[in-house]
Structure 1
Amino acid sequence: MTIFSAIGIAGTGVTVYRKWLDAISDNVANMNDAAPTSGQVFRARYVQARAVDYGTGEGGVVVAGTALGDPKGRLVFEPENPLADHEGYVKYPDVDLGSQMTQMIMAQRGYQANLTVVDRAKDAYQAAIQIGKG
């Protein structure tokens, strides 16, 4: 693996982790969006990653797709809510804040680790240029 391929592979990781963070932010931002029981509720997004050329040490990772959360949501008794049905229930997205915060920490750490790889590879490349000048 060359320095340039290390930068490229780490760059793919940065992209995947950024998209994971985007999905988490959407989930958290919409977790309190009420909907009538007859309507559709926000569905959480979950990023699915896939290795490119797994086992070769080349290629990095890509977003293979996204999975959507439970379309049923969760029913909450809120008779004072203007969206409540005749029994007083509204639907909320089935998003667990604790799980989202845990995923956010993992995604942030992965993002930072990949940026560190890029930074270290850049430093190694610059050091190699300096050796060549000498």
Structure 2
Amino acid sequence: MTTFGAIGIAGTGLGVHRKWLDAVADNLANINTVRSTDEEAFRARYIVAQANATDGGADGGVHVAGAVYGSAEGRLVYEPTHALADEDGYVRYPDIDMSSQMTQLIMAQRGYQANAGVIDRARDMYSTALTIGRN
């Protein structure tokens, strides 16, 4: 693998981790989104990453293969004073677990930082190689 290959692979990792961070941030921002019981709950989004195919020794990397969405059922909560409550006093919240989302947030953040570090080190290595070549 060349220096440019390392930068390219780490760049694909940055893209996937950014999408993952966006999805987790969206899920956390909507964790308390209330809907009436006749509507669907906010559906959490989960990113699916897939390795890029390598043909003939070409550099790999990853890409976002798609997204999987959580349950539209959500969870029913008894809040009779809420403006959206049905005749039985229930409203619908998304079925999102805060601790799971925070764990995913930390993992995505660490992955993003690791890929950014690879790009920085590869760039420094390339700059050093150019400097040595000038002398």
In which range does the TM-score fall when normalised by the shorter chain?
over 0.9
Task: Give the match for residue 29 of structure 1.
Answer: 29
AA at the equivalent of 2:13 = G
AA at the equivalent of 1:7 = I
Are 2:29 and 1:43 equivalent residues in the alignment?
A: no
Tell me by how many angstroms 1:59 deviates: 2.2
- Other structure's SS at 1:112 match: helix
Residues 101-116 of structure 1 aligned to structure 2 (within 5 Å): 101-116=102-117
Task: Give the match for residue 18 of structure 2.
Answer: 18
Q: 1:102 to 1:57 in 2, by over 3 A?
A: farther
Distance, in Å, in 1 between the alignment partners of 2:83 and 2:131 is: 68
Root-mean-square deviation (CA, aligned residues, Å) is: 1.3
Task: Give the match for residue 91 of structure 2.
Answer: 90
> Which has the higher mean CA deviation after the structures are superposed, 34-43 or 54-63?
54-63
Are 2:10 and 1:4 equivalent residues in the alignment?
A: no
AA at the equivalent of 1:121 = A
Residues 46-57 of structure 1 aligned to structure 2 (within 5 Å): 46-53=46-53
TM-score, structure 1 as length reference = 0.97
Distance, in Å, in 2 between the alignment partners of 1:130 and 1:120 is: 15
CA deviation vs aligned residue, 1:37-81 (integer Å, no higher than 9, x gap): 011111000000000026957220000000000110000000010
Distance, in Å, in 2 between the alignment partners of 1:94 and 1:113 is: 31
- Other structure's SS at 1:35 match: coil
Task: Give the match for residue 132 of structure 1.
Answer: 133
AA at the equivalent of 1:39 = E
In the comparison of the two structures, how many residue pairs are matched?
A: 134
- Other structure's SS at 1:131 match: helix
State the identity as a percent. Answer: 58
Task: Give the match for residue 72 of structure 2.
Answer: 71
Q: 1:54 to 1:98 in 2, by over 3 A?
A: farther
- Mark the runs of 5 or more structure 1 residues left unpaired by the alignment: none
